[in-house]
Amino acid sequence: MDVRGLEDLAVVYELRWNVMKLLAFAKSKDDFGFSEKEIEVAATETPRELVARIVPGMDVSGIRVALDCEFADWDAPVGDAKEMAFLPPVSGG
Amino acid sequence: MDVRGLEDLAVVYELRWNVMKLLAFAKSKDDFGFSEKEIEVAATETPRELVARIVPGMDVSGIRVALDCEFADWDAPVGDAKEMAFLPPVSGG
Amino acid sequence: MKITIVFTEEGIVVPEMVIGSREIGAVVEFQGLVREMEGEEALDGLFYEAYPEMAEKVLRRHLEELGEIHGCESVEFIHRSGWVPVGEASLYIRVLSAHRGEGLRFLADSIDRLKQDVPIWKRVS
Amino acid sequence: MKITIVFTEEGIVVPEMVIGSREIGAVVEFQGLVREMEGEEALDGLFYEAYPEMAEKVLRRHLEELGEIHGCESVEFIHRSGWVPVGEASLYIRVLSAHRGEGLRFLADSIDRLKQDVPIWKRVS
């Protein structure tokens, strides 16, 4: 891959769609209406855009998002991630 | 016992002698040359005086003294105590 | 530092203790039990849900960092998920270290970090 | 607060755990093991000497005070005396409390106080 800048990256990503597994945990299951779901996502799409697309009007404040088991930014493109998880405040222990 | 002041107390004590058990622990056993010993002690005698009497020249700095399982003052009369213990710095745990 | 992390749906069984070094001077163990009263409410138990793949990853990174900070020998970490009745353990941690100070600090910090961002949740029913 | 203190010449056997209340949320256990290296010297073990009657009295007072300060439910305290080989426990403490913070603080403070003035001594041989 020969990428020289953000615009090129966008062009490259634009061409790519992934099937992504979405996981909703704890209270998020009720908010999203599913615990697990597969969906097609463009590599350029951000988690926030994806949520707006599948659950319009959803408020994600207080919820963290993870991509492939790492905390991620709501506003950064998902890239090649295979799994997105919605994580309300944790309470283990 | 009808005691009105320190001087009366001293008078009362002066008359009384106890057989006291002395215990030396850890390094004190070497310093004192015994681990357990019975000795007659006047109620007015202080632990410091007692040590000077039984082991002349003995340096008790760093050693604590206990009477009947309570930390005591080197310079207060032993009173009716039945047991005196010499306690070098502790190191339990 | 040797790190063992287990998520289990079963009741926690305290693992046999293996002292791998003659320099271990302190063993600190912690069990978190489910309590009956949560606020005003009397419970029969709690239901724990985990995202085990991510929980393992996030927790391992925390424990590795704490191992660097406090210098302990090993940690065994077990978190139960599913239904846990009152009086039973949802969490077990054992830390081996040369001295008690580092083991106690490691333990306290590891629970703080668990509650900070490790994806495990409890609910009342 | 329920306080159990045992001084023993035998190897320490961890007592069976009895959770007497549905409000216990934290069990903290500590074992102090004899380590091989004491300074520069490689040891086979340590010899512990106690003045058990006084140690019990002084320690109980400390534990009662700490119970007031930290508010724990119970503590079991076992100290071994005589010869303790490397890798074996000279000390065992278990604290039960509602929350982990108070149990951990109680444990840390109780060991500090043990080392402050409880008449127990160790020597190399």
SS (H, E, C) chain C: CEEEEEEECCCCCCCCCCCCCCCCCEEEEEEEECCCEECCEECCEEEEEECHHHHHHHHHHHHHHHHHHHCCCEEEEEEECEEEECCCEEEEEEEEECCHHHHHHHHHHHHHHHHHHCCEEEECC
* Strand C120-123 to C37-38 pairing: unpaired
User: Burial, A59: exposed, middle or buried (Cβ in 10 Å; 0-12, 13-18, 19+)?
Assistant: exposed
Among C90, C115, C123, the residue with its CB nearest the CB of A90 is C115
| Nearest residue of chain B to residue D123 (CA atoms) | B26
End-to-end Cα spacing for chain A: 44
| Tens digits of residue pLDDT in C33-54 | 999 987 788 999 999 999 999 9
CB A1, CB A79: distance < 8 Å: no
CB C84, CB C10: distance < 8 Å: no
Q: How many B-D residue pairs are in contact by the CB < 8 A criterion?
A: 59
Identify the pLDDT of residue D37.
87
Residue C99: CB partners within 8 Å, gap ≥ 6?
C25, C26
Among D91, D114, D121, the residue with its CB nearest the CB of B88 is D121
Name the domain count of chain D: 1
| Tens digits of residue pLDDT in B42-74 | 999 999 999 999 999 999 999 999 999 999 999
CB C114, CB C59: distance < 8 Å: yes
Confidence of residue A16 (pLDDT cuts 50, 70, 90): confident
Q: Which chains touch A (3 or more CB pairs under 8 A)?
A: C
Q: For residue D33, which residues of chain C lie inside 8 Å, CB to CB?
A: 19, 24-27
* Stronger pLDDT, B89 or B13, i.e. the higher one: B89
| Structural domain span for residue C30 | 2-124
ipTM: 0.88
Measured distance CA(B56)–CA(D121) in Å, rounded: 26
Backbone torsion region of residue C117, taken as left when φ is above 0, otherwise alpha when ψ lies between -120 and 50, otherwise beta: alpha
Residue C18: CB partners within 8 Å, gap ≥ 6?
none
D57: number of Cβ within 10 Å: 18
Measured distance CA(B87)–CA(B76) in Å, rounded: 17
- Report which DSSP code applies to A89: P
B67: number of Cβ within 10 Å: 20
Measured distance CA(C15)–CA(C91) in Å, rounded: 13
- What does the pLDDT average to over C71-82? 98
Q: How many A-C residue pairs are in contact by the CB < 8 A criterion?
A: 59
Write down all domains in chain B, each with its CATH number in brackets.
17-87 (3.10.20.30)
- The residues facing D94 across adjacent strands are D29, D76
In our burial notation (b when 16+ CB lie closer than 10 A, e otherwise), range D16-37 reads eeebeeebbbbbbbbbbbbbbe
Average pLDDT, chain C: 96
Sign of CA dihedral A42, A44, A50, A54: negative
Q: Please report, for the domain that includes residue C45, its CATH number.
A: 3.90.1170.40
Tell whether D113 is within 8 A of chain B (Cβ).
no
Q: Is 90 exceeded by the pLDDT of residue A86? A: yes
- Report which DSSP code applies to A53: H
C79: number of Cβ within 10 Å: 26
Confidence of residue B91 (pLDDT cuts 50, 70, 90): very high
| Tens digits of residue pLDDT in D8-43 | 999 999 999 999 899 999 999 999 999 998 778 899
Amino acid residing at D105: R
Among D53, D57, D120, the residue with its CB nearest the CB of B92 is D120
Q: In which order are the strands placed within the sheet that holds D89-97? A: C2-8, C74-80, C89-97, C26-33, D26-33, D89-97, D74-80, D2-8
User: Burial, B9: exposed, middle or buried (Cβ in 10 Å; 0-12, 13-18, 19+)?
Assistant: middle
CA-nearest of B67, D113, D100, C38 to B87 is B67
Task: Give backbone dihedrals phi and psi of D107, rounded to 5 degrees, phi first.
Answer: -60, -50
Looking at A3-17, A35-49, C32-46, D48-62, which range is the least confident one? Answer: A3-17
Question: Tokens representing C59?
Answer: 């927790």
Tell whether C86 is within 8 A of chain D (Cβ).
yes
